[in-house]
Amino acid sequence: MTDRLKKYLDPNNDITTEVVDGGTDAECTYKGSSVSYEDMIDIYEERATNLGKGKPHTTKKYFGGWGEGTLKKAWQNKQEAK
Protein backbone atom coordinates (compact mmCIF):
# COMPACT_ATOMS: atom_id res chain seq x y z
CA MET A 1 0.00 0.00 0.00
CA THR A 2 2.73 2.50 0.87
CA ASP A 3 4.45 1.83 -2.47
CA ARG A 4 1.28 2.89 -4.30
CA LEU A 5 0.98 6.06 -2.27
CA LYS A 6 4.63 6.87 -2.83
CA LYS A 7 4.23 6.26 -6.57
CA TYR A 8 1.26 8.64 -6.91
CA LEU A 9 2.03 11.27 -4.27
CA ASP A 10 5.81 11.46 -4.51
CA PRO A 11 6.93 10.38 -7.99
CA ASN A 12 10.05 12.61 -7.85
CA ASN A 13 11.09 11.12 -4.51
CA ASP A 14 11.14 14.53 -2.80
CA ILE A 15 10.08 13.09 0.56
CA THR A 16 12.05 10.53 2.52
CA THR A 17 11.14 8.92 5.82
CA GLU A 18 13.43 6.84 7.99
CA VAL A 19 12.13 4.94 10.99
CA VAL A 20 14.42 5.36 14.02
CA ASP A 21 14.52 4.38 17.69
CA GLY A 22 13.24 0.89 17.03
CA GLY A 23 10.11 2.14 15.28
CA THR A 24 9.05 4.72 17.87
CA ASP A 25 10.04 7.76 15.80
CA ALA A 26 10.58 8.85 12.22
CA GLU A 27 13.01 11.28 10.62
CA CYS A 28 11.54 13.02 7.57
CA THR A 29 13.16 15.12 4.88
CA TYR A 30 11.59 17.13 2.08
CA LYS A 31 13.87 18.13 -0.80
CA GLY A 32 16.89 17.55 1.42
CA SER A 33 15.65 19.63 4.38
CA SER A 34 14.56 18.11 7.67
CA VAL A 35 10.83 18.48 8.35
CA SER A 36 8.60 17.32 11.17
CA TYR A 37 6.38 14.30 10.72
CA GLU A 38 3.31 16.55 10.84
CA ASP A 39 4.70 18.71 8.01
CA MET A 40 5.36 15.60 5.93
CA ILE A 41 1.77 14.46 6.43
CA ASP A 42 0.58 17.95 5.40
CA ILE A 43 2.64 17.75 2.19
CA TYR A 44 1.14 14.36 1.33
CA GLU A 45 -2.35 15.64 2.17
CA GLU A 46 -1.95 18.68 -0.08
CA ARG A 47 -0.74 16.49 -2.93
CA ALA A 48 -3.61 14.03 -2.51
CA THR A 49 -6.10 16.92 -2.47
CA ASN A 50 -4.59 18.35 -5.66
CA LEU A 51 -4.80 14.98 -7.40
CA GLY A 52 -8.40 14.60 -6.25
CA LYS A 53 -9.22 17.93 -7.89
CA GLY A 54 -7.55 16.88 -11.13
CA LYS A 55 -4.53 19.15 -10.62
CA PRO A 56 -0.86 18.12 -10.74
CA HIS A 57 0.40 16.57 -7.50
CA THR A 58 2.60 19.58 -6.87
CA THR A 59 1.46 23.13 -7.37
CA LYS A 60 3.86 25.97 -7.92
CA LYS A 61 2.93 28.97 -5.87
CA TYR A 62 4.24 32.13 -7.46
CA PHE A 63 4.17 35.64 -6.11
CA GLY A 64 4.11 38.16 -8.91
CA GLY A 65 5.31 41.00 -6.73
CA TRP A 66 3.98 44.47 -6.33
CA GLY A 67 3.37 46.22 -9.61
CA GLU A 68 3.64 49.93 -10.12
CA GLY A 69 0.65 51.64 -8.60
CA THR A 70 -0.58 48.65 -6.63
CA LEU A 71 1.15 49.58 -3.38
CA LYS A 72 1.07 53.24 -2.46
CA LYS A 73 3.53 54.44 0.10
CA ALA A 74 2.48 56.79 2.90
CA TRP A 75 4.44 59.71 1.45
CA GLN A 76 2.63 59.27 -1.89
CA ASN A 77 -0.75 59.43 -0.16
CA LYS A 78 0.24 62.69 1.57
CA GLN A 79 1.35 64.24 -1.72
CA GLU A 80 -1.90 63.27 -3.42
CA ALA A 81 -3.96 64.80 -0.59
CA LYS A 82 -2.37 68.25 -1.09
Average pLDDT rounded to a whole number, residues 64-79 = 60
Residue 29 located in a structural domain = yes
Say if 46 falls within a structural domain.
Answer: yes
Q: Is residue 71 part of a domain?
A: no
Count up the domains in the chain and report the number. Answer: 1
The H or E element containing residue 64 is: none
pLDDT band at 2 (very low <50, low <70, confident <90, very high): low
Backbone angles phi, psi at 30, to 5 degrees: -130, 115
Res. 1 pLDDT band, cuts 50 70 90: very low
Q: Does residue 2 belong to any structural domain of this protein?
A: yes
Task: Provide the domain limits for residue 25.
Answer: 1-56
The reported pLDDT for the residue numbered 65 is 61
pLDDT tens-digit profile of 18-71?
A: 888 888 888 999 988 999 989 989 988 988 888 888 888 776 666 656 666 555
CA 75 to chain centre: 37
Does a structural domain hold residue 66? no
Beta bridge partners of residue 28, listed in sequence order: 17, 35
**74 falls within a domain:** no
Strands of the sheet containing 25-30, edge to edge, are 15-20, 25-30, 33-35
